[in-house]
Structure 1
Amino acid sequence: MARSLQEETAIMSADRRSIAADDMDTLRRALLLGAIVGPAAFGRARAQGTFPERPLRLIVPYPPGGGTDAFGRRVAARLGQELGQRVVVENKTGAAGVVGMLELLRARPDGYSMVFGGASTHALYPLIFAKPQYDPVEDFVPVALVGANTVCFMARNGVATDLPGLLAEARRLPGQLRFGSPGAGTFVHLAGEYLLHAAGRVEMLHVPYRGNGPAMVDLLAGNIDAVADTIVSGLPHHQEGRVRMLAVASLRRSPLAPDVPTVAEVLGLPNFETSLWSLLAVRRDTPAALVAALHAAARKALEATDFQAELRAAGIEPAPVMSPEEVGAYVRAEQAKWRPIVEATGVRME
């Protein structure tokens, strides 16, 4: 039913127009001379210097402490190394990531502001919200697809020892068990709804939070019964025995938690797979040369074996290198994949 990140990207065109990392010096010289982007695009002063000539910011539309925030900070640190300037993370939270996305649209299209978007903000948002405040395809241009977090399902101690047990309890008490997510309309929320739907339209009460961190706090306190989360943020609590990770939503078990089965194993759903992919994006009207410079830095980071190892150690699968055009096609394909799931689960936000 659903393809993994690697399967989705494998079918895309091999005709890439992305700029290789060793083109950075050439690109900077071109910017210096104003040959690519002239004064009318971003001012005479900037046309006289190299890009970037000051720190950049990466807007993370979720609060500190969650898996997406941790992922974004890793990317920001490495991207800063490649660009030769600090990339400062700013958490702009609320409305399932909408606040952060709109923050970028208010910024100048000068390449100094990016957003750490992904499956929630780019694939699900236009499918779920009745009155979208932005268009993820028309208003933004992708810089790079960076990787994906494995989604997992966790429960507080005492409610169930495995996923079939949790679902059985939910069937016994329809609508009484509570599951938390990083926010209504987020990808992880939909992953939870997808699980309940695939398991036979099991009823649980959804409790939205402003990010993974607050949801986990309430799970640890016993205020909710389960969470849909990412393995990155949930694994330490599972390893400490404070909560139980019941299953992962990948097609294979995670090497970080080989004791945790897949949903496919325990429920007999062979194609059940969801991964929370993330990307870097800027405003659509950002000059193409600046998008190319940011893409070149991101590409160099993603091709570095030490950075790939760092991401995998944190439970993140690095994305294959794709051009901005290919990332755009990937986003549209993900929207098409999730549309029937959204319609089947009936999730809708005003």
Structure 2
Amino acid sequence: MLKKWITATLTVLLFSLGGSALADDYPNRPVKIVVPFPPGGATDVAGRLVAERLQKAFGKPFVVENRSGASGNIGVAEVVRSPADGYTLVVGAPQTLTINPLLFKNIPFDPQKDLEPVVMVASVPNVLIVNKNLPVNSVPELIQYIKDNPGTVRYGSSSVGGTPHLSSEMFASMIGAKIEHIPYRGSAPALQDLLGGHIEMMFDNLPASLPQIRAGAVKALAVTTLQRSKSAPDIPTLDEQGVKGFESRGWFSLLAPAGTDQKIVEKINKAVNEALQDPEFRERLASVGADPVGGSPQDFRKAIQAESERWAKVIQEAGIKAE
């Protein structure tokens, strides 16, 4: 009995020491960062900025791979199934971590149990944009147009259940109007249809829409935060245009498979937090409409829990279901 106990203890000790050595040597080969949405959207933009910075910090490739589908569930599921060694990470957003579990009944993973929070990188407001030929230039004018043309206004969203979709439903509810929802597989195709006049309006994460806004290809009527964005201070809020109390925000983060060595988690967390203190990196985030967040893995875990509770209330009140 004593011999078995000693053998088991030594096995655990050796495994622990081996894991610690691997953590100390991390990373010694390329790291894959999965973006669970198509290229061109806000999550993809944020993921590539972070990957570039981590590659610079560690001197090893951090390669972004897009694995879209099922409102982000396919990409997240791939990471959940990956070895918990720190060499496969995922860019997390409100939809995949806090909203999808409330909408889909058969998700093969639990984000709060099967993923290890690393760090919340940045937050972004959503922005209300309309086709440039739509005869409105403010939120009050848009509301009046919707009410004067019942059943004709359509809005696009990057996916069912994302913060742009929930923002749209919240907006429709608060103004007391019905707006037809046209879901897309990602922000980029929705934006293309807005440019082409196939839909009249959409809420989108500011980073994804900012280039088109600056080019004058679409009209930006409002941001969804209570204060104006530092990245686009000329765009007023919904709140200041009469839709009182309207607030919605997206965010981007990094997570690893559950069970990843905490030393590895802390190394990545430290590298991202150091990047967020760099004026150049902060400026790059601001250039795409994102505000730095940072903090510990524990801070991030608490934020996920709080966001889950918040969106559960919105989804229930709006009666939103996965399509």
Q: Do these two structures clear the TM 0.5 threshold for a shared fold by scoring above it?
A: yes
Q: 1:97 to 1:42 in 2, by over 3 A?
A: farther
CA distance in 2, matches of 1:253, 1:66: 22
Question: Residue 190 of structure 1: which of 166, 175, 183 is its match?
Answer: 166
Q: 1:145 to 1:256 in 2, by over 3 A?
A: closer
CA distance in 1, matches of 2:306, 2:231: 29
Please give the secondary structure, in 1, of the residue aligned with 2:141: helix
Partner of 1:342: 315
The AA in structure 2 aligned to 1:332 is Q
The AA in structure 1 aligned to 2:143 is L
Alignment of 1:175-324 (within 5 A): 175-200=151-176, 202-269=177-244, 271-319=245-293, 321-324=294-297
The AA in structure 2 aligned to 1:240 is A
CA distance in 2, matches of 1:235, 1:120: 21
Please give the secondary structure, in 2, of the residue aligned with 1:138: helix
Moved over 6 A (4+): 41-44
Q: 1:314 to 1:39 in 2, by over 3 A?
A: farther
Partner of 1:99: 74
Q: Deviations over 1:224-278 (max 9, x none)?
A: 1111112222122222222111111111222333332110011240x22211111
Question: Residue 46 of structure 2: which of 71, 85, 89 is its match?
Answer: 71
1:139: Cα distance to partner?
A: 0.9
Q: 1:41 to 1:197 in 2, by over 3 A?
A: farther
CA distance in 2, matches of 1:85, 1:100: 23
The AA in structure 2 aligned to 1:346 is G
Q: Deviations over 1:133-161 (max 9, x none)?
A: 32111111110010012200111123232
1:43: Cα distance to partner?
A: 7.0
Q: 1:298 to 1:240 in 2, by over 3 A?
A: closer
The size of the alignment, in residue pairs, is 311
CA distance in 1, matches of 2:263, 2:170: 40
CA distance in 2, matches of 1:339, 1:332: 11
Please give the secondary structure, in 1, of the residue aligned with 2:181: strand
Q: TM-score, normalised by structure 2?
A: 0.89
Q: 1:256 to 1:288 in 2, by over 3 A?
A: closer
Partner of 2:304: 331
Q: 1:208 to 1:38 in 2, by over 3 A?
A: farther
Q: 1:124 to 1:161 in 2, by over 3 A?
A: same
Contact 2:163 2:248 in 1 (8 A): no
CA distance in 2, matches of 1:255, 1:182: 24
Contact 2:125 2:206 in 1 (8 A): yes
Q: 1:161 to 1:131 in 2, by over 3 A?
A: same
CA distance in 1, matches of 2:80, 2:238: 38
2:116 aligned with 1:152: no
Q: 1:38 to 1:48 in 2, by over 3 A?
A: farther
CA distance in 2, matches of 1:96, 1:274: 19
CA distance in 1, matches of 2:15, 2:65: 29
Contact 1:247 1:261 in 2 (8 A): yes
CA distance in 2, matches of 1:38, 1:143: 26
CA distance in 2, matches of 1:98, 1:334: 18
- Percent identity over paired residues: 34
CA distance in 2, matches of 1:122, 1:195: 23
Partner of 2:7: none
Q: Deviations over 1:100-128 (max 9, x none)?
A: 10110121111000000121111212222
Partner of 1:4: none
CA distance in 1, matches of 2:43, 2:22: 34
Q: TM-score, normalised by structure 1?
A: 0.83
Partner of 1:61: 36
Contact 2:67 2:74 in 1 (8 A): yes
Contact 2:174 2:243 in 1 (8 A): no
Please give the secondary structure, in 2, of the residue aligned with 1:329: helix
CA distance in 1, matches of 2:22, 2:71: 37
Partner of 1:84: 59
Structure 2 unaligned regions, length at least 5: 1-11
Q: 1:256 to 1:147 in 2, by over 3 A?
A: closer
CA RMSD of superposed structures (Å): 2.2
The AA in structure 1 aligned to 2:78 is E
